[in-house]
Structure 1
């Protein structure tokens, strides 16, 4: 069962585990693996529309619409960057800087990977803060993407010299999972403000700072 974190008559937000893709795929033996959207529809016994996506390796808050009208409305909110998204990440490497902005055009390279260019014609934009966890001897990141480019946060941290732990594609240190988690969504819908927050439930994240539990106050 996928935990339902919040819901209305038009949408529901669930906790997506890492390791599950959005849509159907096939494994090395040509066996069909159902995506999270299909599994959720079976769980909820209703048709659902995804209005944004999370990478297969990413866990966290996932929003789905319960009717076509809501799907169009919420998809437009995402397209207009009127839904604030906040992520957690963990890295074993020392970043070039500890807070600020990461901006640059995304360039596609080999095998479906991306890199951050120095140009800013149509840039991926991310704001971030970080702290060092003494017990883990690792750095935690609080990230707010202002754009929604493919692999944006994974590439952003790679560009800082601090690839995400467990992210094999971008040369992160070997770990028990990819340490990227969609922690919060903040948005207004039909005149009501919603703030949906869910801390990670898998992996060892060390001590997540208390003020990060309300990320909109840290990265307003």
Structure 2
């Protein structure tokens, strides 16, 4: 279900495995219970969420005060989040910003609108992932439901293995929470978690790109122009 990445007296960082839900099931949270069983915590607090298909870094508070402070960091958008994704084909643009309001569509899906009343904002770079596919490094500024999945669909490259917005089946959904950076109680914290498992992550093109993206916060990101 998870791999423990880092332990602090106030919080934990785990690598959530793909296909694992962070939501409550009959008032229980199996993932948090499994982590607590390993670390000996009586109670853990979910600070933010990842979709079931998404693997990667997830932050958990170890007590109520830490959870409150860390949740405030996310609410204030002072946490830098970086995601990796593999799309099915070359996008309409290789890098840039996707911005627009998100509204409900069919069933469990969302769609991107041209309006910008309360927009989802996602910066991205992309490069070849081999065999006509595309590797994306995304930096969301907002935390909307399905934000990155909808953003990449909107530029013409739905995520491989995404059963809602994608068009290519695979051994998993190829979206991964790759890095986190935030300041907690005056100290800068930063975490990187390379993606695994997944056959497509192992291609030479993807592995080469990850070497160049080893410090995503230091890249010259496309500018966000708010109007």
TM-score normalised to structure 1 length: 0.92
Superposed displacement of residue 23, structure 1 = 2.6
Aligned-partner SS, 1:168: coil
**In 2, Cα distance between equivalents of 1:20 and 1:33:** 14
Once superposed, what is the RMSD of the aligned Cα atoms?
1.7
Aligned-partner SS, 2:71: helix
Aligned-partner SS, 1:143: strand
Q: 1:219 to 1:12 in 2, by over 3 A?
A: farther
TM-score normalised to structure 2 length: 0.89
Count residues in correspondence. 214
Give the 4+ runs in structure 1 shifted more than 4 A: none
- Equivalence map 1:166-177=2 (5 Å): 166-177=161-172
Which ranges in structure 2 are unaligned for 5 or more consecutive residues?
222-227
Superposed displacement of residue 35, structure 1 = 3.1
Q: 1:137 to 1:171 in 2, by over 3 A?
A: closer
Give the conservation status (yes or no) of the 8 Å contact 2:21–2:52. yes
Match of 2:30 in 1: 35
**In 1, Cα distance between equivalents of 2:109 and 2:220:** 28
Aligned-partner SS, 1:154: helix
Match of 2:69 in 1: 73
Aligned-partner SS, 2:188: strand
Which ranges in structure 1 are unaligned for 5 or more consecutive residues?
27-31
- Range 42-51 or range 137-146, more displaced: 42-51
